[in-house]
Structure formats: C-alpha cells, structure tokens
A and B are shown apart, each in its own frame.
Chain A
Amino acid sequence: DGGITQSPKYLFRKEGQNVTLSCEQNLNHDAMYWYRQDPGQGLRLIYYSQIVNDFQKGDIAEGYSVSREKKESFPLTVTSAQKNPTAFYLCASRQDHSGANVLTFGAGSRLTVL
C-alpha cells in the first residue's frame, strides 16, 4: 500500500541534543511538508519542499532544518536551537500536478524533551 511512513513514533531527547525525524513516502508525490502540532492546537507549517534539492521555510522554521536529497525522503532535524521542541510532528505529501490541495499525512512523531 502506498503511504507515508514517519519514524520514530515516540522519541525522547535531552535538552541540547539534536534529533532527526524520518519521513518516507512511496506515493511518487512531488511536494512534502512538515507541520508541528501542540496540544489542543491546529497545525503550523515548519518547512516544505516542492521538488528535490529545494525547500522553503514555513511559518515556524527557526530551530529546525530539513533536506530533500531524494523524492521519497524529507527528514526533519530538530536542533538544540529550538527552544520548545516538545510537540507532535506531522509529515505530509502532495502530488502537485493534480492541482488539488489534497495532502496525505503520516501517523506522526511525538517528541518529548526531558
């Protein structure tokens, strides 16, 4: 089955450590996105990529970094510069040429900073 796989599902980190969240899709989608969700809130866009080797900052990119070396993969690194990293992180993809804003989401990664 085609879909988006995020790993790990749960992650604990000590303050000052960088951590990388994995996002892999086998949908052959062009665009990929990372969102952050805090408890009881909506989703906020961190970074997005519309094509390999290109990505743009979203609304809350500070303290995060991404890469897009392959169409299938869009890993997110939460750096020690992110002041409040505990959150639920969601990766999504979209097939741009369809024209519609239909996103497919992964199951999410829940990061807790101890």
Chain B
Amino acid sequence: DAKTTQPTSMDCAEGRAANLPCNHSTISGNEYVYWYRQIHSQGPQYIIHGLKNNETNEMASLIITEDRKSSTLILPHATLRDTAVYYCIVRSNNAGNMLTFGGGTRLMVKP
C-alpha cells in the first residue's frame, strides 16, 4: 500500500487559500488519492478524491502532479469552520480495501 506523508500542522489566514500538501511517492497505477477532514470530536467527512486529473467540487480542489507522486488539497477561501485535521489517503477502489487514517495535517484557520 502506498504510504502518505503530510505536515503535522499548518496555519492559514481566514479568507485566504489553504494549500495542504501530501506526498505519496510509492503510489501505484490503480490507486486513488482521497481527502477527508475531521473537525474536533466529530466523525471524518469526505472531501474529494482523484486518480490523475485535477478535481474540483463545492468544497475543494485537488491538484495531482503529473507523476502522481504528490498532491495538494486547496480550500480556496478558508473560513474558521475549516479548522480541522485533514487526512490524505491513497487506496485502490477494490471492494476489500480499507481506508487507513494516519496522523493527518492539523489546519488552524486564524482570523
């Protein structure tokens, strides 16, 4: 399984873009990049996922490098409610594959 490396913590000013990096240099061809977040004392929430193309939805954008060895989650206009732990997970879509949630990045959005 491809492992991921994320910074332990990051700060972002309210209203600015938050760019959260993730390294996954051992990713294989059929593995997707998933992003979830967990607000304090709540269950994790799915944000976005992608294989090789950049993806965008109402919550965020996902930029995957051409070699797929790293990706960046972008929250275009961070708000205080975006303060959370963000998990980057790499996994194939086989039914038996479980998602593994590591330490993640603790994003603090400051006024």
Contact surface of A with B, Cβ cutoff 8 Å: 4, 31, 33, 35, 41-43, 45, 48, 50, 58, 88, 90, 92, 96, 99-108, 110
User: By the criterion CB–CB under 8 Å, are B102 and A42 in contact?
Assistant: yes
A103 with B99: in contact, given A42-B87, A90-B44, A92-B43 (CB under 8 Å)? Answer: yes
Within the complex, the shortest CB–CB distance from A23 to chain B, in Å, comes to 11
Looking at chain B's contact residues, the main secondary structure is: loop
B interface residues, how many (CB within 8 angstroms): 24
Q: B13-48 interface mask toward A, CB cutoff 8 Å, 1 = contact, 0 = none?
A: 000000000000000000010101000011111100
User: By the criterion CB–CB under 8 Å, are B49 and A48 in contact?
Assistant: no
**Residue in B34, B41, B49, B101 whose CB lies within 8 Å of A43:** B101
Within the complex, the shortest CB–CB distance from A66 to chain B, in Å, comes to 15
Q: How far is the CA of A25 from the CA of B33 in the complex (A)?
A: 26
